[in-house]
Amino acid sequence: MRQCLTSIDGGYYTSLAAGRDQFGAKGDFITSPEISQVFGELVGIWMVAEWIAQGKRKDGVYLMELGPGRGTLMDDILRTIRNFGDMASSLQAIYLVEASAQLRQAQHKLLCGESPLEQTDDGYKSMCKYLPDVAVIWVEDMKLLPPAEESGMPLIVAHEFFDALPIHIFQSVESAAKSALTKDPSQTQTKEHEWRELVVTPRAPFELKEDEPEFELSLSKIPTPHSYLVDAISPRYKPLKSTSGSVVEISPESLAIVSELATRIGGSTARSARSDGAGTQKQTPSGAALILDYGPALTIPTNSLRGIRAHHRVSPFSAPGLVDISADVDFQGLAEAALNASPGVVAHGPAEQSTWLKAMGIEARAQMLADNAATDADEARVKGAWKRLIDRGPHGMGKLYKALAILPYVEGQKMRRPVGFGGDIELDQT
C-alpha cells in the first residue's frame, strides 16, 4: 500500500504523469473541500472557536495539515482565519505534511502565490499569500517536523489522510498445534485461536484472465511477526479472536501518527527519545486536532481495502500506482492511541459528518452563498454541493464520513465539549 501510493518510483500520489490530477471529475475521486468551499470555512471556524475557548493566545499558535491534496482546505481555512485579526496575528507558521512533490507544488501555488518555494534542510518553505509574515513549511513525513515546543499551540487538521496509510490485515484461525491435540469434538468450545496475517501474493500467470489483477490476498501459513503483536496493540481485538474467520484491519502507522499529534497537544509522560533531548513535556496542554475521514464509528474496520479509479471501485491489486488505494479509518483505534500517548488529551466523537457540519452552521453559510449566487445555475450548484456533504444516503458523504476531535485535558478543569460535538462557543474564563 505504501509503495503503490507514495513510492518515488511509480507511486499513485508521488509520480503521476505531468498534468494528470487525482481530484475532480476528470480525476479519480472528489473530496469534501473540493466539493464546497463551505467545508474548509467551517473547519476554519472550528479552529477559531478552539483558539477563543483556549484563551485567545497572542502567539505560539501554528496550523498543521496532514495530506493537504490540492491545498484547497488550507486555503479556505486561511481565508476564514484572516477575518479574525487577533487570531491571524497569533499564527507563527503553517506546517504541511505532504509526500507528493506535484501536490506540494499545487499547494504552494495556491497558498503562497508568487512567493518563491525554497528548499530547506528538512523540506521546503515559502511565505503565505494571506499572511505575508507567516511561513508555510513543507515536510514529507511527520518525523521531519521540528520538535514540538513546550509552549506551542498546534491546530491540526487531517482530511482523508489516515485512509491512505498502510494497513495490516489479520484473520483469526484455530491454532494448528492445538487443534491437532483436540480431536475430541466435545472440546470445540475451548479451541485456541491465533491471528494470521493476510499478505499480498502474486497470482500464477497462467491463472490470470485478461485484465485480472496480478496480486491477491492470501492467508499466511504461519503467523508473521506482526501477528504476535495484535493482542498487545489493543484489548479490542481479543473478543474477536475466539471466532474463527474474524478479520481485523490495523494501521500501525496511523496509530503512531495520532500518538505524535496527541503529544503535541497534551505532552507526554515519557521523556522524548530524541538524541537532542527535546522533550514533549508540556506544562499546559493546548491546541486541537480534527480528523475527518471515512470509517465505522465504533467497530474495527474489516474488508475495507479498496481501489478507486476514475470514480469507480476497482480491485486494490489492479494497475499498481494508477489506482488510489485506501481503507476505512479505525476511529476508536485513533482515539485510544491518542489517550494512551498523552495524559493531557481527551477525544470527542467520532460524530457523523452530517451532524458535525450541521452543528457548525453549514445551512446558514450555504444559504448565504446561494443568495449571492450570480445565476440560477450557480445557485443550484451551491445547493447541490453542500447537500451532498450532509446527505446520509448511500451516495452522500454525511454518514460514512466522521469527525474526531482531540483536545487538551487539564486535570481539575471542567470538561468542555468542542463546537460541532455538542458544545457551543465558550470563552476561556482564566
Q: Which residue ranges make up the site for ligand SAH (CB under 6 A)?
A: 5-6, 13, 31, 33-34, 67-69, 73, 97-100, 103, 159-161, 164-165
3-state helix, strand, coil in the chain (%, to 5): 35, 20, 45
Pick between residue 34 and residue 194 the one whose CB is nearest to ligand SAH. Answer: 34
Pick between residue 47 and residue 346 the one whose CB is nearest to ligand SAH. Answer: 47
Q: Is 147 exposed, middle or buried (0-12, 13-18, 19+ CB in 10 A)?
A: middle
Q: How far apart are CA 101 and CA 138, in angstroms?
A: 10
Pick between residue 131 and residue 256 the one whose CB is nearest to ligand SAH. Answer: 256
Residue 306 in grid coordinates: 479498496
Encode 31-59: b = buried (16+ Cβ within 10 Å), e = exposed.
bbbbbbbbbbbbbbbbbbbbbbbbeebee
Comparing CA positions, the residue from 243, 194, 250 lying closest to residue 222 is 194
**CB 70, min distance to ligand SAH, A:** 6
**CB 376, min distance to ligand SAH, A:** 28
Q: How many CA atoms lie within 13 A of 324 on its CB side?
A: 20
Residue in this structure with the C-alpha cell 472550528, named with its chain if needed: 46
Comparing CA positions, the residue from 83, 44, 85, 49 lying closest to residue 63 is 44
**CB 158, min distance to ligand SAH, A:** 7
**CB 6, min distance to ligand SAH, A:** 5
Alpha helices (H) along 252-394: 252-266, 331-341, 353-359, 362-371, 376-390
Residue 58 in grid coordinates: 497572542
**CB 74, min distance to ligand SAH, A:** 9
Pick between residue 159 and residue 365 the one whose CB is nearest to ligand SAH. Answer: 159
Contact 347, 405 (CB under 8 A): yes
Pick between residue 95 and residue 237 the one whose CB is nearest to ligand SAH. Answer: 95
**CB 91, min distance to ligand SAH, A:** 20
Pick between residue 40 and residue 287 the one whose CB is nearest to ligand SAH. Answer: 40
Pick between residue 34 and residue 352 the one whose CB is nearest to ligand SAH. Answer: 34
**CB 13, min distance to ligand SAH, A:** 4
**CB 416, min distance to ligand SAH, A:** 27
Pick between residue 237 and residue 356 the one whose CB is nearest to ligand SAH. Answer: 356
The answer to whether the bond into 350 is cis (omega within 30° of 0) is: yes
Q: Is 406 exposed, middle or buried (0-12, 13-18, 19+ CB in 10 A)?
A: buried
